[in-house]
Chains A and B, each alone.
Chain A
Amino acid sequence: MIEVKDIYKTFGDNDVLKGISATFQTGKNNLIIGGSGSGKTTMLKCIVGLHEPTKGQVFFDGENFTEMDFEQRVPIRTQIGMLFQNSALFDSMTVEENIMFPLNLFTNQSIAEKRDRANFCLERVNLKDRNKLYPAELSGGMKKRVGIARAISMEPKYLFVDEPNSGLDPKTSILIDELIAELTVEYDMTTVVVTHDMNSVMGIGDHIIFLHQGQKWWEGSNKEIAHTDNKELNDFVFASKFMQAAKEKL
């Protein structure tokens, strides 16, 4: 479980996050949604420690992550898997080397064991026999899947995903969403997904937080979202005619 308590983040004069508190449950797909500039990626980066919050605290299973220094954070970080918006695969390494990289640094496994684990992770994301390819040789969807394979290579307790569907076609987006949802249950992870993709929201949103102007504007599940009377959330979720029509049918 991850708890965020009264997080503020300011860049110069710009208050991006204004006192957000939230709890992300284990085994659930927790979605952070909101329009561009609402602060969702900043919130994710504050949670994982890529940005230090101006004020407030983040707890990973009761441990105060915000007050730890780099060395103290390492044991928690080895339990974190993250899929970045552009996958962030290491260009100079093959697919297999990318997946084996955290294993090389933080485990004492033999090369054969690490290779087995890499093969298992690749098979899990339906990318068998692509071990020797370089990231430049992969499509956007394949890069995302390799990113997921790398994220789960250490069997993490926490999975963070930043815009998993950006730049993907609708069919691949659904496959990636389903994969994230399956892995969350399989590894019993606390999964936090930042997205503005409505398919993801309706498909896998067990727990949704809607950010607006740096504040938590709404919280609920994908079942509740269709019946909310929150104006800003309705404007955001049902902005398209397609979604409006879908809402009327609900």
Chain B
Amino acid sequence: MFTSFGKYILLLRLSFKRPEKFKVYWAEVMREMVSVGIGSLGIIAIISVFIGAATTIQVAFQLASPLVPLSIAGKISRDSNILEFSPTISSLVLAGRVGSNFASQIGTMRVTEQIDALEIMGVNAPGYLISPKILASITMVPMLVIVSICLGITGGYIACLAGGEITPADYVSGVVDGFDGLTIRVALVKAFVFGFLIASICSYQGFYTSGGALEVGQSATRGVVYSCVMILFADLIITRLML
């Protein structure tokens, strides 16, 4: 475990060495940003709307009491979306979608000698392959999380329109009541850290793949599992430190 952690740190150090030509690396960063950001928008939109709607219905159901104002359901739903569901659930889904893509892409390049070809040319392979992915992830995951928060709250509103547990007016009143900017800051810090973990862990797994197609699949699976575990661990640490 310590050996793997040491290799991971060394790989990260190599990834952020000065690029041979900034322009070529920049083009890669842009390409990865489109892949991570635009490519994940659909799945993030779908899960955010459904989770937002389901959360609102469940909170309203649990708080069904004449002593509790129904607008509280909107408030709890909002904070749950901002603090937990949007950054964490979105990142877990992104670990599956983006992380497995990173690990299998780099792993395939390893087993088909494309990484050897880069090294023979004198290219810093970790820098060329991994740093654009990390930069794209730490930029695009926070943006996706912001989109997810907006859509999650919208999902709650749609649930209020469709069901009878809570009126849309009560929900909106709860959503705007007592909003604290700290929750958004916590969500963005989480998104940034989770983006880094997804890209770096999955790239590491891909980079040290050896064998063939079977091992590429195993690397992708390991990358997703390890990054999911690390996301949940980091979630706890960040929540404890910032709230």
A interface residues, Cβ below 8 angstroms from B: 48-50, 70, 73-75, 77-78, 80, 82, 84-86, 88-91, 101-102, 104-106, 160
Contacts and interface: CB of A to CB of B under 8 A. Distances in A.
A90 B114 contact: yes
Interface stretch (B36-44, B68-76, B119-127, B138-146): B119-127
Contacts of B67: none
A57 B108 CA distance: 31
A122 B117 CA distance: 19
Interface string B93-123: 0000000000000001100111011011111
B177 interface: no
A16 to B, nearest CB: 16
Given A50-B119, A80-B120, A106 B114 contact: no
Contacts of A77: 119-122
Given A88-B112, A104-B21, A105-B24, 8 more contacts: A50-B119, A77-B119, A77-B122, A90-B109, A91-B112, A104-B24, A106-B122, A160-B120
B107 to A, nearest CB: 13
Nearest to A160: B120
8 contacts: A48-B120, A50-B116, A50-B119, A73-B122, A78-B121, A88-B116, A105-B20, A160-B120
A106 B124 CA distance: 12
A104 B20 CA distance: 10
Contacts of A80: 120-121
B121 A102 contact: yes
Given A104-B21, A104-B24, A105-B21, A91 B114 contact: yes
Looking at chain B's contact residues, is the secondary structure mostly helix, strand, loop, or mixed?
A: helix
Contacts of A75: 122
Contacts, number: 54
Nearest to B117: A88
Interface string B56-89: 0000000000000000000000000000000000
B47 to A, nearest CB: 28
Contact of B116 (A78, A84, A106): A84
B210 to A, nearest CB: 12
Given A104-B21, A105-B24, A106-B20, A84 B121 contact: no
Contacts of B124: 70
- Top-8 shortest CB links A-B: A77-B122, A88-B113, A74-B122, A88-B117, A84-B113, A82-B120, A105-B20, A102-B121
Contacts of A91: 108-109, 112, 114
B120 A50 contact: yes
A106 B123 CA distance: 9
Nearest to B23: A104
Contacts of B113: 84-86, 88
Contacts of A102: 121
Nearest to B18: A71
Contacts of B20: 105-106
Interface in B3-38: 20-21, 24
Nearest to A101: B121
A88 B121 CA distance: 12
A84 B121 CA distance: 12
A105 B125 CA distance: 12
Contacts of B121: 77-78, 80, 101-102, 105-106
Contacts of A89: 114
B117 A82 contact: yes
A84 B109 CA distance: 13
A173 B157 CA distance: 67
Nearest to B27: A104
Contacts of A78: 121-122
B153 to A, nearest CB: 38
